[in-house]
Structure 1
Amino acid sequence: MIIKKIIIRADASIQVGTGHVMRCLALAQAWQDKGGEVIFILANKSTALENRLLSEGIKVVYLLAETGSYEDANQTVDFAQKFNAQWIVVDGYHFRAKYQKAIKDFGIRLLVFDDYGHAEHYYADLVLNQNIVVNNKDLYRNRETYTQLLLGTQYALLRREFWQWQNWQREINPITRKLLVTFGGSDPDNVTLKVIQALDWLNKDDLETIVVIGGTNPHHEVLQKEVSNSSLAISLQRNVSNMPELMAWADLAIAAGGSTNWELAFMGLPSLVITVADNQKAIATELDTQGIVIHIGWYQQITLEKIGMVVQEFIYDQSKREEMSQKGKKLVNGYGARHVTSKMANMLS
């Protein structure tokens, strides 16, 4: 059997966060399960991310060009040819029309992750948008005749650690006792601190809270000091590898918008969402409209009191949490990564 190889070109940084790389990791793991090999090309050095990828048996190489440039595309193609890769996967808003065309001109299969129709034209073989707001194809009207669209939450990508929780059933407790706070890999604006301060304002001494931050979060010392000075039961955990277990432990989550929302939905964990990036607003609003999350609002516009009052309301609202949990589990079934990689594999046969 010929081992099929794919190149994944994605970036992570304090400003960009780690979401692009982590959802690509879910795709990589599903590809490995089919017997394939994966090489990640990154632009920025991150020891934490590199170690995570290496621990998954994934090769990591670094780019020597401006991200999203023609030289970026050329170097990515050179790596693909060197490793005899059959697919290139790109995830990032700087991989626009010219970049896609540059790769396709070399005759290599291309999958592009997308969230809101960021490119002027799509030359990719597959465009993957796993978001709930993708209810029409107008975003991708400007595409090649061969470009196929994978749209909607049936393609939501979950990492391998979530797969074993496929049939797990959550028990919704009458009163919220355990709270999970997570704002992604970097959280450059330190919204995590605002949430901790809101919990201090709420002052519920019977509420146990775990705050999770990523390895690229620049505010670790500030957050550790805030947690140490709090009189509440709050613990800070960094760069965790057991996120499903923490989501199963919690009764309620406070989280950013983005890919974490699909993990929370899959785990049936009722969630209060604070948006921290413009591209999260439409998705969070739609999730709120459908009763899957509560969108508290844009992080700069909400007060500590607003966050605390919403948490207070949901501590005792068992029926609402039950409803949110059931709707979330219906939205994300956990098979998205397998659906996408099966499509990729079939297009090679």
Structure 2
Amino acid sequence: MGGEVYNLIVDLSIALASLVYSHSVGMLISKGTARFLALFPVICVFVCLPLNLKTIIFAGPISFLLSWLGSFKLILYAFGQGPLSTDPALTLYHFIFAACLPIKIIRNQENASHQIKKKSYIDYAPKVILFILSIIGYGYKDYFHPLVTICFIAYSFVFMFVVSFNMIALLVGTILGVKLEPQFDEPHRATSVQNYWGKRWNLVVSDILRLIVYNPARAIFSYFFPERWVSVPAVMTTFLVSGIMHEMMFYHLGLYRPTWEVTWYFILQGLWIGMEIVIKKTLGKRLELPPILAWLITMTFLTLTTHWLFFPSFLRLDPLVTICKETMALIGFMKHGHLLSREEHACPFFG
């Protein structure tokens, strides 16, 4: 574990130096091809950084934050778009946080309070209880149907994912003294797949994909499709790119040869949303479903497709047990200086 911590420090140092360089490039070179060429080496470095790490708890965040989000933000920055391109320009301090973290600073800070929905601690109580029950339930996975076990894993990781993002936003917002846009909007209440991916789940990534893939794809397809239907191939292209980026992340996590199941998962999401767009534009309110039925169809589709195509790649990593062992190894290293690998640590929760 000691070697892994050292590799993480090396990666973070390289990332920090790269972001300082990228900020300087933005100050010296105007937006366009020249700035992109100057930033291209940094993008390549970001994509390769997770290959220096062997643990999920380190490689996962580096892959998502730098290889995916960081690279995409720098591409947008090269052409004067995205969250890194502001007027006035971001300070180096703000630039580093905005480039490598899943945050989006609200530009009009004076009206920020009206844009953020405040929740009480009571709102989170049922979610915490479900998370605890999922962890306990996974410990007895041999007694449950495999689909139930997958539900335990799915909810556990969604909960940890959302909590991690919220903690990052709270911490960064406090450090920078700014209000940040919300990253999730109760995805479990989505009444269509388009509503789920576009307006409720991981909104920072949705905004980045909209800028770097959807808008250019829409502009290109406008030459071949009528304006009424141009959003359909643009959406499908966006989900194809999202699928490829998820394949990259899974490769970073386990160095397994891609099976492309995850890519097909996102292609299927894009096809479904394309169908929703066509139905809405052709039938309109004539086929408007009751909210409860629309919610049931949406959640059923997402659950079945996730179980079928997304989770097989995910479960190859045995994620809960692996992360538990890696966390215990990290705690042992920090507490006692023991340089033990995750294989030499037992997980106290799952045996």
Return the index of the structure with the highest Cα Rg: 2
Comparing both structures, which one devotes a greater share of its residues to helix? 2
TM-score between both structures, scaled by the size of structure 1: 0.27
Comparing both structures, which one devotes a greater share of its residues to strand? 1
